[in-house]
Amino acid sequence: MQKHFTTERLESLEKAYRTHLINSLGGFKSVALIGTISKSEVTNLAIFSSIFHIGAHPPLIAMIFRPSPPERNTLSNILETGYYTINHINESIYKQAHQTSARYDEDISEFEVTGLEAEFKNGFFAPFVKQSHIQIAVLFKEKIDIAINNTSMVIGEITEIYVPENCISDDGFLDIEKANTITCSGLDSYHKTVRLDRLSYAKPNKPLSSLSINCCD
């Protein structure tokens, strides 16, 4: 049976209930760990489930920041230094990743309290997460304020990536499922995935076919 929520019904919901419900409606989300470091050299690590692709030429990725405290250190570090990392979360580290959402004091590094390891490499200013299989170096480009609900969109350019060699297909497709990347839904539900198919480019009056995934193993 389908349940129908009208505007009036949605408005009358208790706040936490509505937060869970509306958050779930967005579907499965890209969830990752954002690594930053302040000018005073305190590292910071925070989980975000509002990351999205906005273009490949140039390679741009964006995320939404809420005005709430745990996200503030990440945002101020990005704005202060211009650099951050995006690190995919896999099945082995999702609990530690979730723990980074606790409200630690500004002078405490979430790397230390969670046991996730900061990795500095190739001269990039911000720390990567060593346990992450897919690591992305990002250069801050632009912050766009979203007045309607006091959030901000931060856009960055992907400058370097580290990915498992055996997860790259011939056509550039990166098999993130093979890299054990997970997804989340709502505020707190984590999921691994099972591929249904890769489908060919759709054209009118042409049947779809399955695309092969040829990764070198």
Three-state SS across 71-116? HHHHHHHHHHHCEEEEEECECCCHHHHHHCCCCCCCCCCHHHHHCC
Piece of the chain touching a copy of itself by CB under 8 A; list 34-42, 55-63, 74-82: 55-63
- Taking the complex as a whole, the smallest distance from the CB of residue 18 to a copy of itself amounts, in Å, to 6
Residue of 19, 79, 117, 212 that binds a copy of itself (CB under 8 A): 19
Is 201 among the residues that bind a copy of itself (CB under 8 A)?
Answer: yes
* 3-class DSSP assignment, residue 144: strand
Nearest residue (CB) to a copy of itself, 39 versus 156: 156
Is 79 among the residues that bind a copy of itself (CB under 8 A)?
Answer: no
Is 197 among the residues that bind a copy of itself (CB under 8 A)?
Answer: yes
| Residue among 115, 121, 155 nearest 135 (CA) | 121
Angstrom distance (rounded) from CA 156 to CA 11 = 35
Is 72 among the residues that bind a copy of itself (CB under 8 A)?
Answer: no
Nearest residue (CB) to a copy of itself, 39 versus 56: 56
Q: Please list every residue from 132 through 171 that binds a copy of itself, using CB under 8 A.
A: 134, 136, 141-142, 144, 146, 148-149, 151, 153, 155, 158-166, 168-169, 171
Q: Please list every residue from 25 through 44 that binds a copy of itself, using CB under 8 A.
A: 25-32
Q: Are 143 and 154 in contact (CB under 8 A)?
A: yes
Is 100 among the residues that bind a copy of itself (CB under 8 A)?
Answer: yes
Angstrom distance (rounded) from CA 107 to CA 137 = 23
The CA distances from residue 158 to 120, 166, 170, 196, 201, in Å, are 17, 21, 21, 28, 25
Residues that bind a copy of itself (rule: CB under 8 A) add up to a total of 112
- Taking the complex as a whole, the smallest distance from the CB of residue 83 to a copy of itself amounts, in Å, to 13
